[in-house]
Structures are given as C-alpha cells and as structure tokens.
Structure 1
C-alpha cells in the first residue's frame, strides 16, 4: 500500500497560500467598498457601466495530480504578507493597469488544465483583480465627450444647418408663424420627431412635396378660396440656412391654413346668423402634417380636404366656366318690344306666340332647346321667368325693358359670388351626409328651392315640394340632425313663441278664438299656459309629423292647407317644413330603415285616426337642411334661386370686409328659451283642465312633449269623446 503522506507537505503549503490570499483579497475588497464614495450621478454610473468586467474562467478545481512533488518551493508557495501586498497593489491600481489585469484574468480560459497552476504565486494577482471593483475610466478628450453627449442624428449633413436654425426658431420665433396654440404645439412636435429636418427642401432644393403643396395653394381660387390667404415663400431666393428655415415654416403655416379653411370654411357659420347649427369637423394639424408629408402626391392629398360631395364638385366646375365666360364678351340682347307668351284659354283656344329675331340669342343665353328658333314660346317664357326670379326681378315671364337691361349688365360677377358663397356653405356640412348602415341614406332639404329629396347610395330615391319659414324671425334654420321616428296622428303642442306672440293677443280680441280653432288651453302649476291641438283632420300638423329633435323646435309635417304647394315661392310657415306628400315620404323612410316591413302610402293612411302612433327607426336617418341658392341640376345646368333670407349678401359682405382670423371665431349667441312666463288671460276664456295639467303630466317640458322626452301629455276630452290610446311601434 502506497504511502500518500510523502510529499504532502508541499500540497498543504499550496492550499494554505491560496486560502490566505483569498482571505486577504476579500478583506481588501470590503475595505475598498466601504471607503469608496457612492456614485450617484448618471455620468458616473454610465462610466462604470462602460468599463469591461472580467469574466471568471471555467476551469476545473485543482487535484493532487496537478502538482509535482519536486516543484521548487518558491514557485509553489507564497507567503501571506506577499499575497496581501499584491492584492492591495492591485486594488489601488489606476485604469491604465486595467487592460493587463483583464488579460491576466482571462488567460486561464485559454490555458490547458495541466498548466493552469504551474506558477501559483504569479496567478494569484489576476484572481484578486477579478473581484475588485472597477476603477473609474480616464476622462475622454473634449471632442469625444461632445460626441457622446449628443445623440446620433439622421439629418443629412447638407440639411443640418437648416435643422439647427429650425431648432432655434422654435425656441423663440415660431409664434409669428403659428398663432394658434394647438397648431404651434403640433408643428413643434412634428419637427422635433424629425430632429428638425426640413420637409420642403433637401440640400437646399425644393422637394416634390413642396412643389405639390405650392401648386395647390396657388390654385386655391379654383375651390372658391382666396390664394392671397395662403402666401407661398420664394425658395429660389432662399440661399442661406436662415432664409430656408423661414421659408420652411411659412409654407407649413400656409398649408395648415389651407387645409383648415378647405375643410371647415373661411368663416364659421355662427358669423352669419343664430339660426344655423352644423356639427363641427375641424382639421387635426398633427394629422395634416403626417398626411401631407408622407403622401405620394402632396397636391392631391391637400385637395382632399375640400368637400367631396357631388354638389360641391359640380359648383366647382361651374365656377371655372363662369370665370371663363367673364373674360369673354357677351353679346347683348337688343332693344325691342316686350315679348310675352299667353297660354290657350277657353276664349282664345290658340296660345299667343310672338316672333322676334332676338329669341335665338335668348335661347342660347338661357340654355333653351332649338337655339335657332325665333318664336317666343312657352319654353323661352319659362326660362325668362326663372331668370327673373333668380335676379330679384318680378317673375312674369315677359321679356320687358328691365329684364333686357339686367341681362346686358355685367351680372356674371354676381353669379360668381353666388357660387362662391354656396361652395362655402358646402364646407359647413358633414363629410358623411348619410347613415352608412342603410346605404348612406339621408334627407336633403333646400330652402330656396322649396324641395326635399331622399338620397340613398348616391342617387335620389324620392322628392317632394315643401313650404318653409317666412323671412325674418320665422326663417327655417340650417342644421344637420337625425330623424329618429315619425308620429302618425300627432298632437300639436303650440310653441311658446306662437302662444305669446299670436294666440294671447288674439284672445284679447276674441276669447272664443281657441275653441273655434279646436285648440285646448291649460294652465301649468308655475302659472304659465299651454295650448295644444288634438289629432285629427284639422290638426295644424296634418296626419304625420317627422321628428328630428333640435334646439330650434322645428320639424317636418303634413298640413291641411294643400293649396300653398301650387305656388312657386313657398315661404309661409313659422319655421317648420310642410311636406306635400307625407304618406309617400313616410313610406320611403320606413322602407329604408325597415325594408322587411313593406310599408306603402296606403298602409300609412290606414293608420289615420285619433291615436298617436310612433314609428321608430332602427337606424336614425340624417336630415340636412341647407340653403343652396346655386346648384347644378340633373341636366348639368347651373340653377340660381332667389336669396329669400338674404344669406348670400351677408356672407359676401363678411368675406370682403372681414379678416379671416375674425371670421373663424365662433360668435356666441343667445340660445332659444323654452320658458313660459305667466300669462294674464282675459275674462271669459275657459281653461280645459282647471289648472291640473302640470301635475297630471309629471312636469314635462315643452321640448319633451314635442320630441318624445317622456310620456305624451294627456289631452282633454270633448263631451262624449272616448279616451284615446297612444301606440308606439
């Protein structure tokens, strides 16, 4: 049996040296950690993170076979003091010693296991270095430090001078280009994300995006806008970074102005009157910047902010034609006797048709068929009548001296103005006119044309004549709302304005007037009065009411007075819109919203009676009430209508005399009041419910009664009348 105790003393000495060295190094590291000042700053932590740390070598632990018994003592042992001094020297070394220490620490990974501890005394210092905390790196040169502090930029070197100027301008001067806080913040954020790289120039030359935007701004007049409102900088004269940066921001500001006015209008609708209410649809400057800067065709992208509606696009074409005709002299209509056409009558079975050499010119001017015909027939007379109506002349159909003088005067400019203000009003309308769930169906009512159209899938489904509000305080308001249901056999709850302005004065003259009209007078608990008319043939709303709740308290409805629909000018109501064929209108709407129920006009008329029936739409249908004094008909002809409310004149005066910034401001106007002051009822006027009405209906407001905010108010019964029931479908 071999004696392994021989030669063991050398191995024990090695183990003792290794243990002593480990204890010394651990104590030194702990002392250094306690004495070192904390590194709290970001820069110090960043330097520490940048210093490479040695990785421990993956070496198997030593065995007895790895040591030679006859190895020299000096090579296999190390005294504790020597090891301690070595470790202290290593811990206190500067960064210039770190590469050597790192190399020494990594060396064992590349050494064979049999050679790993051939010189233990020499291998000990690297081991001590591996566990010591890294020393701070030497301070880099100033130019290197500057590159480290400044993040890498993606701006091309040729654009960096302009980018630096833009950075400075946003710090001080950009407010003079963007006086709207929202736009300024969006623009600054946009350029900051690009590291202030310009979008309109590249290496000093204009980009394709800039050329597209400039072309669109210069052609603003084709869309009824004023190109002077969107100044274009001269990039060719900008030959310095300062000038290029200034031109950059000027073009960005003009682009945002164009997009905003193209979409929402040069003026806010509240500037015109208080009876307009359209939903707001302002532009988002962040979206505009992102859209135009990334578009393949910047000009087309900017043009897309104009209304997409067919009516607007057709007016745009007519505007170009009118401006072209203005530049071309128009042949005047010659003087001569008055021309008229007389229809056949019982006394005179043959119509009176005059012949005149001026008629072919009239036909050409007014787009009447058979342009070479010299007879002043019914077609020419009707065209003359429409011209007179649209030019504030007495619409007689007679070509008299005043009409000839109007035709020969430079009226094209006035026609251009009319087209311009109508294009402006198109910008107020929502971009989505209809309900997408039912084929983009919507109702379009044009006040000056006295017509109502039902549209679906871009085509006209149905149309009828309407009666609208009288000029002045009873003008029909312009708005977009949604029709939620229709009421068959409606109760007419008289609006407070009619009660106090018309019925109360009438009661002073005749205390029985309400009874004779079939109206019921009640007093509310607060002392105010309420007047209503039960359903029936004589009801002022007729047999059907079309409900789209709105702050103006107007709606569309039937009427017992059918004779007004035969007139050319039909502005007679208190603001509501009377429909000529309500049963057909109801069936059309119901078939759009509920196609499986197969409504017909006959089915609607079968519901007529004395019980209110609400037919609710599963999908509400938008109702757009507009004021189009100029529009293009189905034959492609420009139609002009009389400005019955004076809206065109108001808008042209504002556009010519006001500044755009002022016109964009919203004008605060008084909201309609539904309060009903206490009324003094004259002697002899009988109430129908002895003042208990308010308690019986739960305190419903007039607005709720009108548009279904709660249960309908009970109506007083005549002697012998059976109770009515209200049905909701």
Structure 2
C-alpha cells in the first residue's frame, strides 16, 4: 500500500499553489469587472491618477511555496506579493491589508533577506497566512474608490452668542450695518465700537439675558458719580435698562451706554473744553483717548468703575482738589434755593460726664439746613442732631469761621452767601485745567523730577520722587498781552552771564518810540543798537550785573519765547502780588535754583550755589543738562496746601471767569473744538530811526543780511537750523502784533 501520509505533502502543496493562483486571478478579474461598471467621470479621474505598472509574473509553481515547521502554513513569494500590490489601487481599502515587511536590526543586510527559517532572528519577511494576507472578495461597490462628490457650500461657524442674547446681537448687527445710527457723535467712536462688537459676534457686553452685568453696573456707577470729578453727569446719560424689555430697546440701551462711557473717558482725560477755547497763550501736549483701548480696558477689567475713573488726572494735587470739592458740596451744595431765615441759635450738646443723655434742639429750619448742607438722610427731620452739628462745623471751618458747630447769625449769613458757590466753581475749573497737563509731569530717568510754577500763587517748586525738593518766589507777567503763557516744555540748559536779546515786541512798542524822543536812551541804559545791511534792527544788552536777565537764564525753548531768569530788581519779590514782567518768570534765588537742577541731572558733581556764583563774569557759559527737566507752567487759583487747607488765589488773568462762563453756557461738543490763534512773530524788526542815533560797531552779535539767526535762535541758542516749536492741535496763522516774549 502506498504511504498516503508521506505522499500527502506533495499533493497539499499543489492544491495550495492552485488556490493562490485562483485567488490572485479572481482579484484581477474583480478589479477589471469593477472598472467596467464605472461611469465615464470615474474612469477619467482614475486615468488622471498615476498607477503602478502591472507585473507580468508567471503562474506559481510548487517551488514557490515552502511549508513551515508544522507543515500547515505557507509563505507567499515576493513575486506573488508584487502581483497583489499591483492589483490594489490607491485609496482601495484592501491596501491596508498588505503589511509592510518587518526589518531586522541595524546590522541586517540585503543578502540576509530570505524566506522564513526555523530561527526567528533570521526572519526578513513576516509570515503571512493566506486567510489574513489575501483579502476576501468584496462586492464591487465596497472595493471601488469613493466617487468624487460635488463641492459643498462652506458651513457657517456656530455663533458664540448665548441663545438668550442672540436677538439683541442680531439687532446690534442690524444697527451697525445701517447708515442711520446716530448714537455716536464721532466717527472714531463708532468705528471702534463696530469693530469691538463685530469681534464678539455682536453679543451685548452690558447685559446677559436682559440683566445688567457686573461690568455695566460699575460703568453706570462711575457715570452717575461724574460730579465728584467736576464733570456734569448730564453729559453722560445712562439709559433705563429696566424699561428695555425688547431686543430693540436692549440694543439701543447697549449702544447709548457705550457712547456715554467713551464720552466720559475722553473728557475725564482731556477735559470738557480744549485749552485754545480759553486763550491763545496756552500750549500743552495733547493726550486724547483711544476709543478702542477704552472699550478693551473697561470691558475686561475686574473693576470697571475704577478703570473708568483712572482716566481722570492721576496727580496728587488733582486728587486733593477732588476731596475738597466733595467737602464743599457736602457743606452747602444742596437743592434748597431759598436762603435760610434767621432764628434762634441752634446747638447740639452730646451726652458726656454727668449728663446721661444728649441735648437735641428742634427747629423748623433744620430740614432746609439739611438740604443746604447736603445731608440726604432723614431729610425731613427737624432735630438739630449730631450729624447736622458736625456738618455745620465743617462748613464754618471752610469759610474761616470758628468751627463750633453752633448755628449762629454769622453762620447763617455765610450759608446764604454766594461766596460758597464761587468756591465750588473755582475748584471745578482748576480740576479742569489739570486735565490739560501731561499725565507724567516728570522725567523717569531722574527720579520723576520736574519744575512746576503756579502763576496766581507766584511760586516755583522743584519736585522729585513725589516730594518737594526746593521752592522760591517768582515774578510773572502782567495781565493782558504780557501774561505769562501756560505750557509744558523741557529745560535743556542754563546760561550763566546771559546776553539779553531784546524781543521784537519790546523793540517795536517801547524802544523805537523811546529813540524818537531821546536818541541816547539806549546808550544810557547800556543797550547795544545794531542794524544789518538789510535794515533790520537788533538791540541787546551784554552780560553783567545790570543785565535785565541778571546772572542766569534758564532755557526751555518754546514758541512763546519766554524763560526763567535772574533779575536786578530784587525788591519786587517782597510784594504779595508779583505780576510785573513782560511774560518771562523772574526767580528770587537763581543760584540756588541752578545748583538744585544741576545736582538732579548731575548728582556726582556736587554743585553748590557758591560754585555757580563763582562762574559770574562777562562771558556767556552754557551748562547743558544730560537729561532735560520738564517745566510745567500752571494756573492754579485753587489748590490744597501742605497743611491740607484749601487755598484760593486771585484770578489775575481772568482765566477762571472765562472757563466758568464757557461751562455754564456750554455748547456741548463745540467746547472741544480747536480754535486757531495768532502765532508769535520771529521776524527781526526794521524801522526808521533818528539820524543822530549811535549804532554799536559790528561785534559779531548780529550778522548782516537775511541769513542771520532768527530771534528764536538767538534767544535760546542751539544750531542755526533750530526751529520754533510747532503748535499742537492747531494751524499756523499770519502773525499779529500781540506777542508773548518778555524780560
């Protein structure tokens, strides 16, 4: 009998080879039949895709297969694998069934690759079982690559707006898309608001589901309390959100609150009026708000009220005025319009010692008194209690009466006097002027040092690190055309032994008429008269003890051609009111002033007044500061002194009166418009002089011809290309005779 067990191995090998061949052939036939059923578009797409070339492989033989150790698993030859791969098109799901060859360790060489052996370490190609490696036949629809679908419309991103706020957001989008929106007075405000809301899908920021947010409550609280900063709450109306019950009403209230917030921030920072509305001799650097920045800052702040309040001036002197305004209003800015009638003396006696109970008087005038003193609690109470007595005491102290807390005849007269209201107005306009000043008065590089000069108080102070370093008395300009201008500039250097170059205004208005009367007047005054070949006149006074500028000039170039300087007229400093100059500021102790400034800018040089005085002579000496020092010329008729007491000064230039009139007759946004004023004239004067006037010899002070330095250059020094500072926020006009140069 034939050994069937041994002969079976060859038979099995033949069957397996035939099965593999049939399977491969079926796969190829399936792919071909699949392509036959495809549409013309699908075939065109496949034709455009690069495909591997089909392999022309002969049918497998028994030698292509080898049994494993168990005699039950076959390994497919490399040629068969190539046939299978070539048959599967890119994108066909069957491609994932073909496993990549497993590589050996790093030392494996191409020569080492062979069919499976009994040692696993020698494997170069992983064994593949027929039922796992060869995919089963699948229906044509499953085997074919998915057909290309037509392009779809882009899907709109889901809105981030809560469903409850979506109707309001839709209305806001509609309002901004229209041209009839009149909520914002300024184009910049509307543009910033539109960009802000668009970035949040027009979701409201002040309400959520119709209720006020914490941010909105903070903003409303700040706007409602605008009077505490000397502003008018009526300028920043707060919409009635409680009455807004529809999406249209909520959207309208949303934008109105946004507009009021932007108006508040702008006026809190820059003022309700532009300084040019008051006078042409005021020039401060402008610092307008950025509406986009305001929206971002306030809406993302933890405390919206505090953030909005931060747009008010940060200076200590402003905050002290704010406190005094609150005190004044609490002592007498109540709604009662009629005067308090005379009556019995009212007083309050507290319980103390042997008196077990307080003594409280009753009077029908007390409700009116409460209103006058700003006491809103128990407004109809007729008792003269401890709270009323304390309010009376504070009021007495503010008007220089003995603070007894007793309502006597003198106190009643003071309460009925309009003087108290004038004090409030004065404080308010001084707070307004603080908004014009730079936010940073000093230079950070030198400890925030700066100079501040208060014209109505006739004082100059040097400040550093928030503390007063030095102070002195000054003489300022006369009222009228010689008024000292208000400005902020930087002092770049000081000049010891300065030459006084007489300003054109003084030459025209004073010296030329004087020469007509007395041709020798300038010579007797020690002044030099020179005339260029083009007929222009120059008058100067050489350095010396009798020089009109004294021994030192403090230079901070500005368009008004004013500066600070010494003076030989020392007696003027003893007067209480010291408005005597042509606009410049005369300093009482210039040698001390110079040493203080030099020690701030050059702390290692040890400048002393004696060292400065040792430089006095007949030649000009310029001492330049490594870091310029800011100089701020202010007009503070109301300020708080070091003792915490409110000080009121005479409105010597009428600035308060002008501003109060403007605010009380406010034309709204017109007060923020810039008014152009005549600018100083830098042309050197020319004119007819008497024939017997003596001219000085050509000393080089005044080069002939139009190429000589302008008066601005001659006054402040510097290179010939030095130009007068350009005005900020206004245009230049033809100069008039009104000048601000002075001595």
| TM-score between both structures, scaled by the size of structure 2 | 0.72
Query: Is 2:520 aligned against 1:505?
Result: no
| CA-CA distance at 1:175 after TM superposition | 3.6
SS of 1:462's equivalent in the other structure is: strand
Query: C-alpha distance in 2, partners of 1:712/1:168?
Result: 56
Equivalence map 1:648-727=2 (5 Å): 648-689=656-697, 693-695=702-704, 699-710=708-719
Q: How many residues align?
A: 595
| CA-CA distance at 1:318 after TM superposition | 1.1
Equivalence map 1:532-547=2 (5 Å): 532-547=540-555
Q: 1:435 aligns with which of 443, 452, 458?
A: 443
| CA-CA distance at 1:447 after TM superposition | 0.4
Which runs of 5 or more residues in structure 2 are unaligned? Answer: 1-9, 52-57, 67-86, 101-126, 343-392, 406-411, 723-743
| CA-CA distance at 1:444 after TM superposition | 0.7
Larger mean Cα displacement after TM superposition, 499-508 or 248-257:
499-508
Aligned to 1:515: 523
Q: 1:531 aligns with which of 539, 543, 548?
A: 539
SS of 1:598's equivalent in the other structure is: coil
Q: 1:114 aligns with which of 117, 127, 130?
A: 130
8 A Cα contact 1:521 1:529, kept in partner: yes
Deviations 1:586-623 (A, max 9, x none): 11111111111111111111110011111111111111
Query: Is 2:238 aligned against 1:229?
Result: no
Query: Is 2:593 aligned against 1:585?
Result: yes
Equivalence map 1:593-608=2 (5 Å): 593-608=601-616
Aligned to 2:222: 216
Aligned to 2:567: 559
Query: C-alpha distance in 2, partners of 1:505/1:29?
Result: 111
Larger mean Cα displacement after TM superposition, 685-694 or 504-513:
685-694
Aligned to 1:192: 198
Query: C-alpha distance in 2, partners of 1:620/1:331?
Result: 59
Larger mean Cα displacement after TM superposition, 321-330 or 670-679:
321-330
| CA-CA distance at 1:684 after TM superposition | 0.9
| CA-CA distance at 1:367 after TM superposition | 3.7
| 1:62–1:415 CA distance, 2 compared to 1 (3 A) | farther
Aligned to 1:446: 454
8 A Cα contact 2:504 2:685, kept in partner: no
| 1:370–1:153 CA distance, 2 compared to 1 (3 A) | closer
Query: C-alpha distance in 2, partners of 1:261/1:544?
Result: 40
Aligned to 2:639: 631
Query: C-alpha distance in 2, partners of 1:65/1:253?
Result: 91
| CA-CA distance at 1:500 after TM superposition | 1.1
Q: 2:464 aligns with which of 453, 456, 463?
A: 456
Q: 1:129 aligns with which of 128, 139, 144?
A: 144
Aligned to 1:77: none
| CA-CA distance at 1:68 after TM superposition | 9.1
8 A Cα contact 2:206 2:215, kept in partner: yes
Query: Is 2:660 aligned against 1:645?
Result: no
Equivalence map 1:324-335=2 (5 Å): 324-327=330-333
| CA-CA distance at 1:628 after TM superposition | 0.5
Query: C-alpha distance in 1, partners of 2:721/2:521?
Result: 25
Aligned to 1:283: 289
Deviations 1:38-58 (A, max 9, x none): xxxxxxxxxxxxxxxx9xxxx
SS of 1:623's equivalent in the other structure is: strand
Aligned to 1:352: none
8 A Cα contact 2:555 2:563, kept in partner: yes
Deviations 1:676-721 (A, max 9, x none): 34321221112223597325996222111111123899xxxxxxxx
Q: 1:159 aligns with which of 138, 145, 165?
A: 165
Query: C-alpha distance in 1, partners of 2:130/2:716?
Result: 99
8 A Cα contact 1:519 1:533, kept in partner: yes
Query: Is 2:250 aligned against 1:244?
Result: yes
Query: Is 2:259 aligned against 1:253?
Result: yes
SS of 2:144's equivalent in the other structure is: helix
| CA-CA distance at 1:660 after TM superposition | 2.5
Query: C-alpha distance in 2, partners of 1:448/1:613?
Result: 32
8 A Cα contact 1:700 1:710, kept in partner: no
| 1:16–1:685 CA distance, 2 compared to 1 (3 A) | farther
Query: C-alpha distance in 1, partners of 2:706/2:235?
Result: 57
Query: C-alpha distance in 1, partners of 2:133/2:553?
Result: 105
Aligned to 2:70: none
Query: C-alpha distance in 2, partners of 1:119/1:158?
Result: 55
| TM-score between both structures, scaled by the size of structure 1 | 0.73
SS of 2:272's equivalent in the other structure is: coil
Query: C-alpha distance in 2, partners of 1:313/1:118?
Result: 88
| CA-CA distance at 1:134 after TM superposition | 3.8
Aligned to 1:79: none
SS of 1:319's equivalent in the other structure is: helix
8 A Cα contact 1:549 1:707, kept in partner: yes
Query: Is 2:433 aligned against 1:421?
Result: no
| CA-CA distance at 1:524 after TM superposition | 2.9
| 1:264–1:14 CA distance, 2 compared to 1 (3 A) | same
Query: C-alpha distance in 1, partners of 2:652/2:206?
Result: 47
SS of 2:457's equivalent in the other structure is: coil
| CA-CA distance at 1:149 after TM superposition | 2.9
| CA-CA distance at 1:324 after TM superposition | 2.1
Query: C-alpha distance in 1, partners of 2:693/2:34?
Result: 113
Q: 1:270 aligns with which of 260, 276, 289?
A: 276
| 1:691–1:608 CA distance, 2 compared to 1 (3 A) | closer
CA RMSD of aligned residues (A): 4.2
SS of 1:597's equivalent in the other structure is: coil
Deviations 1:648-699 (A, max 9, x none): 1111111121322111111122221201343212211122235973259962
Larger mean Cα displacement after TM superposition, 418-427 or 700-709:
700-709
Equivalence map 1:283-432=2 (5 Å): 283-327=289-333, 366-367=399-400, 409-432=417-440
8 A Cα contact 1:322 1:416, kept in partner: yes
8 A Cα contact 2:21 2:60, kept in partner: no
8 A Cα contact 1:523 1:691, kept in partner: no
8 A Cα contact 1:703 1:709, kept in partner: no
Deviations 1:7-57 (A, max 9, x none): 9999999989988999999999998589679xxxxxxxxxxxxxxxx9xxx
Query: C-alpha distance in 2, partners of 1:202/1:686?
Result: 85
| 1:62–1:322 CA distance, 2 compared to 1 (3 A) | farther
8 A Cα contact 2:684 2:711, kept in partner: no
